[in-house]
Amino acid sequence: MITLKEALRLNKDELKELKKDLVEKIEETRDINAYIDVKEAGEGIPIAIKDNIQVEGWSITCASKILQGYVAPYNATVVEKLKSSGLSPFGRTNMDEFAMGSSTETSFYGKTLNPKDHSRVPGGSSGGSAAAVAAGVAIAALGSDTGGSIRQPAAFCGIVGMKPTYGRVSRYGLAAYGSSLDQIGPMTQNVEDAALLYDIIAGYDPKDSTSAQIEHIPVAPNLNPNRKMKIGIVPNYIKDASDEVQKAYDKAIEALKREGHTIVEVSLMDAKYDIAAYYITAMAEASTNLSRYDGVRYGFRAEAKSLKEMYQKTRTEGFGDEVKRRILLGTFVLSSGYYDAYYIKAQKVRYLIKDEYKKVFEEVDLILSPVAPTVAFEFGSKKSPLEMYLSDVYTIGVNLAGLPAISLPVDETKEGLPVGLQLIGKHFDEQSVFDGAMSLERALK
């Protein structure tokens, strides 16, 4: 598959040929189930779009039964930005229902397979986007990251996935899961492509009240893998990771040293606090955001004799088990008598986590961390929801603190499964994140 950088140089005829080849390839890899359907919105360079980003005239369903029949009446800001830069949406990719999951097993359309090993998950919730890029059936894709949903599937599928600083990329037109956590970001074949796509979608948007009014200086033209930086490593984090992840971590540290970076040991508080604060916050926000799906205004509506029965039946039949679980937990932590005990306490812990990162970034430019405790796991191997939630242990702190981070492949296991690590940066310092990632990518090649 040609890279995004190469695709930007194609003429109209070459672009037509590329799309024809893509459609054929997508048909050949139907079993992976990366795409829900393949459509085109415009004549630009084809970019795969996660099924929770509005594309005017497309059925956008968040991989849920409850949104069957809904057609997007407008474009998300990121889609408008793609189109004005000569790119265009091309196919919507599978995902965990309402972006709630770490394995793309909760989709109404069935699970997506990992192109590297079909018995394993592609990660989630942007598993379709990651699988499409990894299988060579997308030049690049957009995903969304609420607690690692771009970085973890990128790591599991062996591609690059980048989560921008909260507020850097407009959320207008992204179906809300956790409004204070969600960010749209690029999923690509290499670091340079991720920088190119990031530049296209980044910037202030008056339509999004959480969008930051901070000037976006393009990253791609200023990429500098020769910059020498101080990179923090977190020994107390790595002890919970598998041997394969630990080996990849050591390998990456050695590669960064060879590139002339200074490695500094830092410590962050136990990630169990991240898990607790994240799941309380995300589920509370999900409970509020998903209350709009009631069968009245759009999407699926169940047959019923009364209004109350219609609400109950629509939600019972329309939402999957994981989404129901998170709505119930979120409603519980927001309910009278529990709001202070859970939700307020989680916000205090979130502030401490943010503050801790701030202190660490006073002495380093970037932090190197695992993306997940293991490589891609087998379907059905996580026996309980809690086990599944723990697979986000390394990614959610970044969302709680609103920081930018990039996942890139650094190693492979004996079975050929990719191992990804992430570089985390300071607020709005995407330049350092991309420079560091490019340096690491070059060192490992």
Q: Which of 102, 149, 170, 432 is flagged as catalytic?
A: 149
Residue 149 falls in the annotated catalytic set:
yes
The secondary element (H helix, E strand) that includes residue 255 is helix 243-258
Looking at the structure of the chain, the number of domains it has is 1
Residue 339 falls inside a structural domain = no
The token pair that represents 30 in the structure block: 């139907």
Torsions phi, psi for 124 (to 5 deg): -160, 170
Q: How far apart are CA 302 and CA 390, in angstroms?
A: 35
- Does the pLDDT at position 240 exceed 90? no
Instruction: State residue 130's pLDDT score.
Output: 98
Closest alpha carbon to 125 in 326, 273, 317, 269: 326
C-alpha distances in angstroms, 61 versus 66, 227, 407? Answer: 8, 43, 27
Mean pLDDT of 62-69: 97
Q: Which of 88, 103, 125, 129 is flagged as catalytic?
A: 125
Q: How far apart are CA 278 and CA 288, in angstroms?
A: 15
Q: Which residues span the domain enclosing 37?
A: 4-268+356-444
pLDDT digits (tens, 9 = 90+) for 262-290: 999 999 988 889 999 999 999 999 999 99
Residue 314 falls inside a structural domain = no
Residue 41 falls inside a structural domain = yes
Residue 97 falls inside a structural domain = yes
Residue pair 277/349 in contact by the 8 Å Cβ criterion: yes
Residue 399 falls inside a structural domain = yes
pLDDT above 70 as % of the chain: 100
pTM above 0.75, yes or no: yes
Q: How far apart are CA 47 and CA 58, in angstroms?
A: 15
C-alpha distances in angstroms, 357 versus 4, 234, 401, 432? Answer: 33, 12, 8, 16
Residue pair 343/334 in contact by the 8 Å Cβ criterion: yes
Q: How far apart are CA 95 and CA 130, in angstroms?
A: 10
Q: How far apart are CA 175 and CA 75, in angstroms?
A: 12
Mean pLDDT of 154-178: 98
Strands (E), 148-305: 160-163, 183-188, 230-233, 262-265
Residue 276 falls inside a structural domain = no
Residues with Cβ < 8 Å from 202, sequence gap 6 or more?
A: 164, 168, 169, 216, 430
pLDDT digits (tens, 9 = 90+) for 367-388: 999 999 999 999 999 989 989 9
Residue 50 falls in the annotated catalytic set:
yes
Residue 432 falls in the annotated catalytic set:
no
DSSP string, 312-324: HHHHHHHS-HHHH
Closest alpha carbon to 438 in 223, 261, 198: 223
Residue 49 falls inside a structural domain = yes
Residue 235 falls inside a structural domain = yes
Q: Domain holding 29: CATH number?
A: 3.90.1300.10
Instruction: State residue 271's pLDDT score.
Output: 86
- Does the pLDDT at position 192 exceed 90? yes
Residue pair 216/168 in contact by the 8 Å Cβ criterion: yes
Closest alpha carbon to 178 in 15, 336, 327: 327
